[in-house]
Structures are given as structure tokens and as C-alpha cells.
Amino acid sequence: MSKNFNQSPLYLSTDCSTYSNYWKLANYLDVLSVLKGTNYFYFTSNKSSIIELTDWIEKNLGGENPFKGATKVEVNARMNHNAGYTDIMLFKKQK
């Protein structure tokens, strides 16, 4: 299956009002389906629930979790002294 993604995907559950092309949940799930059986780098943040979603799908529906076995790197970022978030990179090299 090949998907054409004309705009970089946004972080799931973040404010998309400044983007001209709004991504829906189905678009995020399409990206996950493309990851299956490939080498990849996947960027998200702790503002997204995509990792929790894929864990839940695997546990409760028996679906394949594309992040299973991936390496996870987290970087804490501060916007100011009161606000911050964590950028997350997941990467996987198929054997």
C-alpha cells in the first residue's frame, strides 16, 4: 500500500488551526500502516496520544503495534519557565 502525504503530518491532538490542510485520525493511522515492515524514524511529542493508542490497540484488539521493538528517544524542551513538552523520536531498523 502506498500513500501520498502532501504535507508533513502534524502531532496528533495538537492545535492545527494554523495549518492549511487538517489531518484527521485516519491520516495518522494511514501513516502507521506504512511503517509496517519498514525502517523508519517517527516523530511525535508527549502532547500526542499515538503511542498510548497503539499500545491499547495491541492489548485490547490484538492488532499489530508498529512501535513494538522500536527505540525511543525523548528530549525535554522548555518554551518558558512554566511551559514545556517532550519531543519523542521512535526509530526501527528491520532485521
Cβ atoms of 86 and 43 closer than 8 Å: no
CA distance 84 to 78: 4
Q: What is the pTM of this model?
A: 0.71
67-94 pLDDT per residue, tens: 999 999 999 988 888 888 899 999 999 8
DSSP state of 55: H
Report the DSSP beta bridge partners of residue 67: none
Cell of 82: 512554566
Secondary structure (3-state) at 85: strand
Cβ atoms of 27 and 9 closer than 8 Å: yes
15-65 pLDDT per residue, tens: 656 656 667 788 888 989 999 889 999 999 888 889 999 999 999 999 999
